[in-house]
Chain A
Amino acid sequence: MTLGPGAVFPDLDLPDHTHRPRRLSELAGGDPLALLFSRGWWCPKEQRYLREVTAAQDEFEVAYARIVVVSIDSPEVQSAFRAGLGARFIFLSDADRVWMDRLGLLEVTDTTHRPYRPTAFTLAPDLTIHGAYDGYWYWGRPTIEELRQDMRAISRDIREDFRA
């Protein structure tokens, strides 16, 4: 599966951090979306990065844009991690790794946890990929400024009254 700009991201169906079944297109709800695949709560890099994303949620909350995190943690663990971060966005649990092979996002070097490879996508509401980032090495992750620029570009494309 090619997950690059211009491709349409699969419409993931997974339980959220409260066990409620969710679908990615429903979560987008007509807004741009930052989709973040995360190793899991135990990884210091994930803790660091998601603290930064959490700090940015104050912009997303007024800018009509969404944030979704996917990991192999169970919903209970995700709920605790989310609370610890102070996050107000949604986590999806792929504890059974039902999407991992289809997406080709297994991190092959962590044979203990078999987590998702840290990867980020910025998506239009119809799940068309605008940007793709490989965060296996920490510096490959999108900075908040890059997420901001991607959200701006997508919003400009989809909001008829967005002026340059």
Chain B
Amino acid sequence: MTDLPAGAAYLAYDGDALHAGRGPGRSFMIDARCLGGEAVRDAYAHVCALPAPDASLEFDQPEVQQVRRDALAWWIPLLGDALVCLTTFALDASRYAGAMTVTREPVSWADDPFARIFPGTVLRTSLFSDVAPPPGPVLERYAGVAWPGGTF
């Protein structure tokens, strides 16, 4: 895990629960805005990641680019008002370790495009706050921050 860039925050996942900060479990860098506001109580987090430390791909792999395109094209519109926030999980400047979509209510998790990379697990959480979804079409990351966070 590299130094935390501006606009990023740590999130840990142990397979059963999410924790703000580093550990217990596997630590990821996420879009800091997801932890930056008033938390939505008893939300649902669809965590498409694995606790295994070697479960990662390059962010620039075509399949990782494509699930971000799908998120912009139809996953975010499909979620509508249920969406609280979403973020990818970064291990460092180049490695993708999964993604998370947080909603106010259960949604059609089977449609989550990020689950095509790593399988999803639904967890209840009161950690995350509302973040306006990315307007698109930018897929690239800003200074290594987990998409869609950061700016120049």
* Docked complex Cα distance between A31 and B139 (Å): 13
**B53-76 interface code vs A (CB 8 A; 1 in, 0 out):** 000000000000000010011101
Asked if B140 and A86 sit within 8 Å, CB to CB, the answer is no
**B135-152 interface code vs A (CB 8 A; 1 in, 0 out):** 111111010000000011
Answer yes or no: B6 CB below 8 A from chain A CBs: no
Within 8 A of A (CB), among B73-99: 73-74, 76-77, 80-81
Within 8 A of B (CB), among A60-83: 60-68, 79, 82-83
Asked if A62 and B135 sit within 8 Å, CB to CB, the answer is no
Q: In the complex, which residues of chain B have a beta carbon less than 8 angstroms from the beta carbon of A58? A: 137
Within 8 A of A (CB), among B117-144: 132-133, 135-140, 142
* Docked complex Cα distance between A30 and B152 (Å): 6
Answer yes or no: A47 CB below 8 A from chain B CBs: no
Asked if B140 and A29 sit within 8 Å, CB to CB, the answer is no
* Docked complex Cα distance between A79 and B72 (Å): 12
Q: In the complex, which residues of chain B have a beta carbon less than 8 angstroms from the beta carbon of A31? A: 138, 152
Give the shortest distance, in Å, between B104 (CB) and chain A (any CB): 14
Stretch at the interface among A20-28, A114-122, A142-150: A20-28
Give the shortest distance, in Å, between B143 (CB) and chain A (any CB): 11
* Docked complex Cα distance between A90 and B77 (Å): 11
Answer yes or no: A113 CB below 8 A from chain B CBs: no
Give the shortest distance, in Å, between B44 (CB) and chain A (any CB): 19
Answer yes or no: A159 CB below 8 A from chain B CBs: yes
Asked if B135 and A61 sit within 8 Å, CB to CB, the answer is no
Which of these, A19, A20, A61, contacts B137 with CB under 8 Å?
A61
Given A19-B80, A26-B132, CB of A65 within 8 Å of CB of B151: no
Q: In the complex, which residues of chain B have a beta carbon less than 8 angstroms from the beta carbon of A29? A: 135, 151
Q: In the complex, which residues of chain B have a beta carbon less than 8 angstroms from the beta carbon of A87? A: 73, 137
* Docked complex Cα distance between A16 and B140 (Å): 22
Given A18-B80, A66-B138, A83-B77, CB of A61 within 8 Å of CB of B69: yes
For B71, the closest partner residue in chain A by CB is: A88
Asked if A18 and B137 sit within 8 Å, CB to CB, the answer is no
Q: In the complex, which residues of chain A have a beta carbon less than 8 angstroms from the beta carbon of B138? A: 31, 60-62, 64-66
Q: In the complex, which residues of chain A have a beta carbon less than 8 angstroms from the beta carbon of B136? A: 57, 61, 66-67, 88-90
A sample of 5 more A-B contacts (CB under 8 A), given A16-B135, A57-B136, A61-B140, is A31-B152, A62-B138, A62-B139, A66-B136, A88-B73
Could you list which residues of chain B lie within 8 angstroms of chain A, going by C-beta atoms? 69, 72-74, 76-77, 80-81, 132-133, 135-140, 142, 151-152
Contacts A/B (CB < 8 Å), 9 sampled: A22-B132, A29-B135, A60-B137, A61-B138, A62-B140, A64-B138, A65-B138, A66-B138, A88-B69
